[in-house]
A and B are shown apart, each in its own frame.
Chain A
Amino acid sequence: MNDQAQLLPGTLDLLILRAISLGPLHGYGVLLRIGQISGNALLIEQGALYPGLFRLVRQGLLKASWGTSENNRRAKFYSLTVAGRKRLREETNSWNRLAAAMTSALAAQPEEL
């Protein structure tokens, strides 16, 4: 458990968008996908996912419809809207810029100054 990182505030939405961009998912599926693509390195309480999902639906970035899961249970599947896809691109770019800046800042050595 100790090797899991706390999510930075505001990053959950980006993770959800990214997870769903790989294909429509139901809520539990989103969790599994995030675990899978992050190498189980991120700590998310299961229930905390849902307010995020609902927020994104309300912002028009996700759309939801009921269907049947691989376990043969009824589940609500989420997929990206056009706006969602666009938002994912923007957020990814800005994250990359931030991450690069942070990385370079943290890696800076005295002799480079």
Chain B
Amino acid sequence: MKPLDWFRIRIAALFQRSELNADLEEELRSHVEHRADDLERTGLPRAEAERRARIEFGAREKYKEECREALGGNPVGTLMQDVRFSVRVLRKSPGFTVAAVLTLALAIGANAVVFAVLNGVILRPLNVPHADSLYGLEHSDDHMGQESYPNYLDLRDRSRGFESLVAWNISQAGIDTGGDPSRAWVAAASGNYFDALGIQAFIGRTFHAGDEHGVNSAPYIVLGYTYWHSHFQDDRSVLGRVIQINKHPFTVIGVAPPGFRGTLLFFNPDFYVPIVNQPQVNSEFDLNTRGVNWIFETMGHLKPGVTPGQATADLNSVASYLGKTYPVDDGGMQFILARPSLYGDYMGKPILGFLAALMTLSGLILLAACSNLGSLFAARAADRSRELALRLALGSSRNRILRQLLTEATLISLAGGAVGLLGSVAILRRLSVWQPFPQFPVQIPVNPDAKVYLVALALALISGLLFGIVPVRQVLNTNPYEIVKVGSAGVRGRRVTLRDVLPVLQIAICAVLITSSMVAVRGLARSMHSNFGFEPQNAMIADTGLGMAGYSGDRESAMQRRMIDAMRTIPGVQSAASINWAPLSGGANSWNVFTDEAKSLKPSSAAAAPYWYNISPDYFQAAGTTLLAGRTFTWQDDKNAPLVAVVNREFARKLFASDKDAVGKHFQVVLGADIKRIEVVGLVVDGKYQNLTEDQAPAVFVPLLQEPMSQTYLVVRSNGDPQQLAAAMRGRLHDLDEGLPVNIQTWTQLMAAILFPARISTVALGILGTMGAMLSITGIFGMAAYSVSKRLKELGIRMALGAQRKEVLQAALGRPLKLLAFGSIAGLVLGILATKILANIVYQATPRDPLVLAGVVLAMALVGLVATWVPAQRAISVDPLILLHEE
């Protein structure tokens, strides 16, 4: 027995035993027997009497049905009947069924994936208790959450809206557990971090506010669960072990619980240390300087009964107090509250914009799929008009027929939904464990949950209804007698019907999607070749933090110089240099600068806040940055020499109003606690620094020796083979200090994180565009094939009367092609109008690009060609004789 049959019989048995049916059955039997009794009394034999009684009773099944309906019907039984019938009908046309189910599976699957990402990233709160009252602080001007440690302490102690404000910061540190030195991502968190968030240790203990007794007083490590699992193999005896962080001994006191992945949604720290020990983790940051905002994020639970508005007002009264007390560091500070999980609005807004746009587009895909299926269903209903008419003529109600057609549609949509959901779950599982960047512990937690399943189910049901109701009017207008008499080819009006509008709508939607994906691809291609202000090609980057290997002060710059010299000895290397953060690597420092004449050095009177880089002498040569005027640095630009800087043109424009004669001028900068006056000695071209979409930003480059930094990106330029070069670099660095953890990759690879949004949006739009193209092909194919098959006889006659191929094709496919052209133009126009939305997610999205326009037109033409090829062949190969014989 086939599983389906087994299922059918079980279900049927279940409902046929239902009390109502038995009751009704018995009552009608009782009636017939009473009547037979009477007839028997008139002298008929019993068997004959019973036969007559049954005849007199009339259409028993029909009356039974009416009785059930009179009682409000037996919805389950009727439904089962409809389902059984629909399954039978659908099995008779497997091609149609499979095509419809797959179309929907793709569309619903795409929607489920996009929604699951939206759900995982935006809707789902952080996995901490009472996440709904957890708010992060961000500065209202730049939407960044960064803070200095003294400011954090003041905010924590003076604000009254929060239960307990916590702070944390990300650093990368060198780890030595006795084996090879490696790097790990460390969250330096305030002592109250775990307690305020309500996180208990999985084993051992977390650290507490009471552990903090001043700078570097709490050398404790709480391991993240994932790191414990992958690096310590769940070894419980790790408690009490001493681990060297940047050559400083720390003791493991506990492991965080499995569900806790830090407080930034997709960033799972390897371990946590108390923030008072941050200087050991990263020596650039200290606990005393108010002007250096190195804390990544500050957050806390609102006190019960305190609204976000009240908490914000309270914070800002603290901020204005701080601004008055420390005008140079805190002047003009203002806060707003935001969800901490996506670093507030800084990342949350663009991510939300991107996902909303994707959701819109995938919704369009579903709409296109529905209109596609709608026209298929309408065509089917037309083909089945004879069957439907027959059923109407035999006494079936129109309601019943519509219900059955809707059941068919719903069955298809549910099957499509199920297949789509299965596919999307597989995709989401892979997406959740995917690590897009090897150097960051970044994961996107998008595992599907009940909400995703519900949305998929709802989408399936809604789309079933949408395309299921398309043939309704057709059925309602069916005149059974006409159709049974004349045959289905009866009336074929030339007026515009729903069946013409749907394909146009669908093609328009698909053209929008194709336009978007082409705009995205072009945007990405352009951003890959835009002007970065440096040459990422043929440049290898080795990044390290000298602090990780225990270097500090003058030893750092001496080591940097040795490293650069060692790189120069590698055969084939043209130039080598260092910078504290490579541009477009994901990090940068920035300071407020003031004109030379400025008297007040409050943040509000700053002339600019340029990116601030510390470079070795040959950096511009190694990076491929063009020097426009003046000079670069030499090793003589050291602590004893006058302070000098090279600036970019944007800086010169901002500070000196013109980039013509910037060289020789001076500016002032507040560097943490110091105020410095610096002379501009060189001018370089503008570039990109943090991301590709930024407005042109000012940048300053200062000599390494005048401002030593532990963070080091070695830039090595060579035309040789990258792998050999990387191996040679690794060897040279290992010879210098084998305890130095180093990452080596090309500059292009390093930029992957920056290009990630553009890449991911191109991939997403590309997939949606491809799906759109596929949907248009199946849609037009269905329409053209239907139109040909409907008019086969007419075409045959025309050919018999001597029509040319061209005329036959025109007759058969003219209409579908006209609709295609119409839809494409509408879609192209809409796509161009929709570019504002696209600009959210795609860099340099502009459809006013001849290549994009040509591409869309070409793609749609190709779609039309592919989709009409088979029907056209069929139309041409019509044999009039066979056709005319058929009748």
Contact = CB atoms under 8 A, between A and B. Distances in A.
Interface of A: 26-29, 45-48, 50-52, 54-55, 57-58, 69, 71, 73-76
B29 to A, nearest CB: 9
B31 A46 contact: yes
A71 B34 contact: yes
Interface residues of B, number: 23
A57 B24 CA distance: 13
A76 B34 CA distance: 12
A68 to B, nearest CB: 10
B70 A46 contact: no
Most buried by A among B59, B60, B67: B67
A51 B66 contact: yes
A55 B70 contact: yes
B34 A46 contact: no
16 contacts: A26-B34, A28-B30, A29-B34, A45-B58, A46-B57, A47-B59, A47-B63, A50-B66, A51-B67, A58-B71, A71-B34, A74-B26, A75-B27, A76-B23, A76-B27, A76-B30
Contacts of A73: 30, 33-34, 37
A40 to B, nearest CB: 14
Please give me the 5 A-B residue pairs with the lowest Cβ-Cβ distance, nearest first.
Answer: A47-B63, A47-B58, A51-B66, A54-B70, A28-B34
A51 B30 contact: no
Contacts, number: 64
Contacts of A52: 70
B27 A27 contact: yes
Nearest to A71: B37
B807 interface: no
Nearest to A54: B70
A69 B60 contact: no
A48 B59 CA distance: 9
Contacts of B60: 47
Nearest to A46: B57
B55 to A, nearest CB: 10
B24 to A, nearest CB: 8
A73 B40 CA distance: 15
A48 B57 CA distance: 8
Contacts of B180: none
Interface of B: 23, 26-28, 30-31, 33-35, 37, 56-60, 62-63, 66-67, 69-72
Contacts of B35: 28, 46
B20 to A, nearest CB: 10
B658 to A, nearest CB: 90
Nearest to A75: B30
Main secondary structure of the interface of B (DSSP, over half): helix
Contact of A75 (B23, B34, B58): B34
B30 A26 contact: yes
Contact of B63 (A50, A57, A69, A76): A50
Given A46-B56, A46-B57, A58-B70, A51 B34 contact: no
A55 to B, nearest CB: 4
Contact of A47 (B23, B37, B57, B70): B57
Most buried by B among A26, A54, A76: A54
B61 to A, nearest CB: 10
A14 B33 CA distance: 26
B248 to A, nearest CB: 84
A26 B26 CA distance: 12
Most buried by A among B26, B30, B31, B60: B31
Contacts of B63: 47-48, 50-51
A50 to B, nearest CB: 5
B547 to A, nearest CB: 84
B334 to A, nearest CB: 68
Contacts of A75: 27, 30, 34
Nearest to B63: A47
A66 B69 CA distance: 21
A97 B166 CA distance: 85
A71 B36 CA distance: 11
Most buried by A among B27, B35, B66: B27
A27 B67 contact: no
A45 to B, nearest CB: 5
Nearest to B27: A76
A57 B23 CA distance: 14
A52 B69 CA distance: 11
A89 B58 CA distance: 31
A26 to B, nearest CB: 7
B630 to A, nearest CB: 96
A69 B72 CA distance: 28
Contacts of A58: 70-72
B59 to A, nearest CB: 6
Most buried by B among A28, A47, A55, A76: A47
A18 B109 CA distance: 61
Contacts of B67: 50-51, 54
Contacts of B69: 51
A38 to B, nearest CB: 18
A51 B60 CA distance: 11
A75 B57 CA distance: 16
Contacts of A48: 58, 63
A67 B63 CA distance: 23
A48 B63 CA distance: 7
